[in-house]
Amino acid sequence: MTFLDQLRDLAPGELAARLDEFTESATGDPGAGGYLDAQRALYLLSVARWQPSWESIVPAADHTDVVLAALRLSRAWHRADTDRVLGGMELPGIPEFGDWLDDRCRAHASGPQHQLFDFLENRATEAQLREFVFQETPFDIHFGDLVAALIPGVYGAAKLELSHNFWDEMGNGDLKRTHRQLRLNMMSEVGIDAGAHIDGLDTFWVEELELANMYLGSSTDRTLMAQALGMLLATEHVVPGRIDRQIKGWLRVGYGLDQLEYLTEHVTVDVAHAAGWLNEVVQPVLAAHPECLPDIVAGVERRLAGSLRVCDVALRKLSSAA
């Protein structure tokens, strides 16, 4: 029985009770089995609550008791993860934030200089490259929805920048060019099922689920929205160089650029978005609400730390399968 099967048919009270059981595990040892189940539950409930009623994978997801239990679980984990990542770090000043961000993202160990990307570019087999794309599905497949969830309640230049980002996700109005469709096209080309983000739940690394849950939770819980801005800001800064090395790996094993449009699209688009996020969204928020600085920094740091965990586990698991 899959983890989804264990939750799907529970009555609302039973499902809420299970989520409360997971809450303690979510703040404990990340290496424990209960922690993995907590991450799976967080992911499933987040996805289920985004789906229309006629497609819901967990029918009880919108019941009041389940919503409250899921919120308790999510907030407990986000608090624990934030505390783990930030520790007693010294925050940058607001005037120095842009320079701090550039230096932090450029030098961070999760960047394109990580040994994982040398492995993907120069040595990984087609199967290993495919597994990496598969493992990144829980985050990648929902990116357009994440951006859309941040748009309500934000106005002025920030709303325009968010909307520009979302419009790029929507292929600038061309259904065939939407980033989700390009992602699905690439998955089809390399042999990954379109339903992998749900059907593969039991085989996703916990580190990938953590990364997806950071974004799913922070983009929909308004108390965490400043963290979401920091996460997305860091994403736009570090992704292009990493993707370029993946593309070279896929070309090496015989794929053509026309089969890799999802990746090639992000090499150029994300560079422009990085400046837009900083100048039109984050800096104005910091100028008007300096109290948001700790949360924005937390979002940057959590994204970088989470990505490093993914890089480390991917290198270990993929290279050991060589």
Residue 322: is its pLDDT beyond 80? no
Query: What is the predicted pLDDT for the residue at 29?
Result: 83
Per-residue pLDDT of 216-232, as tens digits, reads: 999 999 999 999 999 99
Could you tell me what percent of the chain has a pLDDT over 70? 98
Reported confidence tier of residue 273, pLDDT bands at 50, 70, 90: low
Core vs surface per residue 91-126: b (16+ CB within 10 A) or e: ebeeeebbebbeebbeebebbbebebbebbbeebee
Query: What is the predicted pLDDT for the residue at 35?
Result: 96
pTM here is: 0.95
Q: What is the mean pLDDT of residues 101-114?
A: 93
Q: What is the mean pLDDT of residues 240-252?
A: 93
Could you tell me what percent of the chain has a pLDDT over 90? 85
Per-residue pLDDT of 84-95, as tens digits, reads: 988 878 899 999
Per-residue pLDDT of 45-70, as tens digits, reads: 999 988 998 888 999 999 999 999 99
Average per-residue pLDDT in the chain?
A: 93
